[in-house]
Structure 1
Amino acid sequence: MKPCFVLGFLLFSLVCLMYQASDACSCAMSHPQDAYCHSDIVIRVKIVGKNLLNDGPFGTLRYTVKQMKMYKGFDKIQHVQHIYTHDSESMCGVKFDINKYQYLITGRVHDGKLYTGLCNFNERWERLSLEQKKGINHRYQLGCNCRIKPCHYLPCFVTSKNECLWTDMLSHFSFPGYQSRHYACIQQKEGYCSWYRGVSARDKLIINTTDP
């Protein structure tokens, strides 16, 4: 194989890889509480149908859903019948199974329609921890005035009384980590926020902003 051909092939491959990387969906990690607080709608549904709509330069998937329970968003949409997302995963479109599972869906409302994607918190209901389900039901809303501060590299510090230090990125190689699955950042007396985990009467504890 001629050297110029090899060099050309390598350059072509590099350009393709760069194009794919730039075209891919990229999302920052988010604690479920942040996803709850920053979403217009938080809902549990079962997906019962799917249609591809060509209403723009990229296709849009419209999922027909059976609403099981709404946790947030009554003032936006009282009853959700459809969920919209990009058809392409490179555009952060999300895929759901039909007539299989119940999903927790978070998203934004635009022109009376619920939109979601890979950067939103969407998960099969049975995969959520007990504490996450309790958070979605009532605990997360108690901490929407708090700020969950990600810690990617040591040292990390809280800089205000309304912050909880989120250290899952340090102690876990995969997402979600322990704080994501078991803790909520709740506002306490005098505006201070701290991690909280309530499991039972014997296992209710309030921990400081650096633990776990």
Structure 2
Amino acid sequence: MKSIRYSMLTRWLALALVVACCRVADACTCPPAHPQTHFCNSDFVIVGRVQKTFRGKDFYDAYKLKIRNTYKATPKAKVALQSGRLLTPSQDSLCGVSLQPRETYVITGRVVHLEAHVHLCGFVSKWREVTPRQRKGFRLLYKQGCTCKVHMNRRRSKSPNACTTGYNECYERHGICLHDREHRCRWTR
């Protein structure tokens, strides 16, 4: 009888450890990406000031923004952004973002079912912390470089349509990858 209890207790403890490990492992992780990549892969890129925060249902919270600039918007994104409402997962493990009221952000996001969504794997930064070169990128130059691919984890690439960098903050904050006169992608000054 004692051995059956210990066996059951051991099984329950093993199950609890497995569940605990899974809970730790389900945290949000995103591969590093250059702001230009975020721009090119998003449905919208906006600069907006957070006006209100709403605790949502169905695992989503919402932010009401006053959109100051729209640097990119697909036709569906234009419709979704008319309300100035952004949805984000309410749990960190689902990659939800936390925005501060009365703060202005540059935000890239996706449109799902005609609703604007933002998450940690996109680009979300306080506008005052964005470098002048990044601002110029968002306004104009990143769009011109969308035919180029930026690889953050390689030292070199033989592709004429790629710029590479190895997690270098200088490239992230000041680099823009554009085609040169020979139609090869290069980092610009």
* TM-score greater than 0.5 by the shorter chain: yes
Contact residue 94 and residue 117 of structure 1 kept, 8 A: yes
Distance 1:180 1:17, change over 3 A: farther
In structure 1, what is the Cα distance between the partners aligned to 2:17 and 2:178? 47
Give the letter aligned to residue 37 of structure 1: C
Q: Which residue of 1 aligns with 2:124?
A: 122
Give the letter aligned to residue 122 of structure 1: V
Gapped runs of 5+ residues in structure 2?
A: 1-5
Contact residue 46 and residue 102 of structure 1 kept, 8 A: yes
Deviation at 1:136, TM superposition (A): 0.4
CA deviation vs aligned residue, 1:49-76 (integer Å, no higher than 9, x gap) = 121222x3xx211111111111000633
Q: Which residue of 2 aligns with 1:208?
A: none
In structure 1, what is the Cα distance between the partners aligned to 2:45 and 2:142? 11
Give identity over the alignment, percent. 29
Gapped runs of 5+ residues in structure 1?
A: 172-176, 198-212
Deviation at 1:23, TM superposition (A): 1.6
Contact residue 77 and residue 112 of structure 1 kept, 8 A: no
Contact residue 163 and residue 185 of structure 2 kept, 8 A: yes
Superposed, 1:1-212 pairs within 5 Å as 15=18, 18-54=21-57, 56=58, 59-73=59-73, 75=75, 76-77=77-78, 79-99=82-102, 101-151=103-153, 156-168=155-167, 177-197=169-189
Question: What TM-score results when the alignment is normalised by the length of structure 2?
Answer: 0.85
Give the letter aligned to residue 132 of structure 1: Q
Contact residue 148 and residue 165 of structure 1 kept, 8 A: yes
More helix by share: 2
Question: What TM-score results when the alignment is normalised by the length of structure 1?
Answer: 0.76
SS at match of 1:189: coil
In structure 2, what is the Cα distance between the partners aligned to 1:115 and 1:82? 9
In structure 1, what is the Cα distance between the partners aligned to 2:128 and 2:54? 26
CA deviation vs aligned residue, 1:39-97 (integer Å, no higher than 9, x gap) = 0100000111121222x3xx211111111111000633163510001100111011111
More off after superposition, 65-74 vs 34-43:
65-74
Q: Which runs of 4+ in 1 moved over 3 A?
A: 10-17
In structure 1, what is the Cα distance between the partners aligned to 2:114 and 2:156? 41
Alignment: residue pair count = 177
CA deviation vs aligned residue, 1:173-194 (integer Å, no higher than 9, x gap) = xxxx110001100112232000
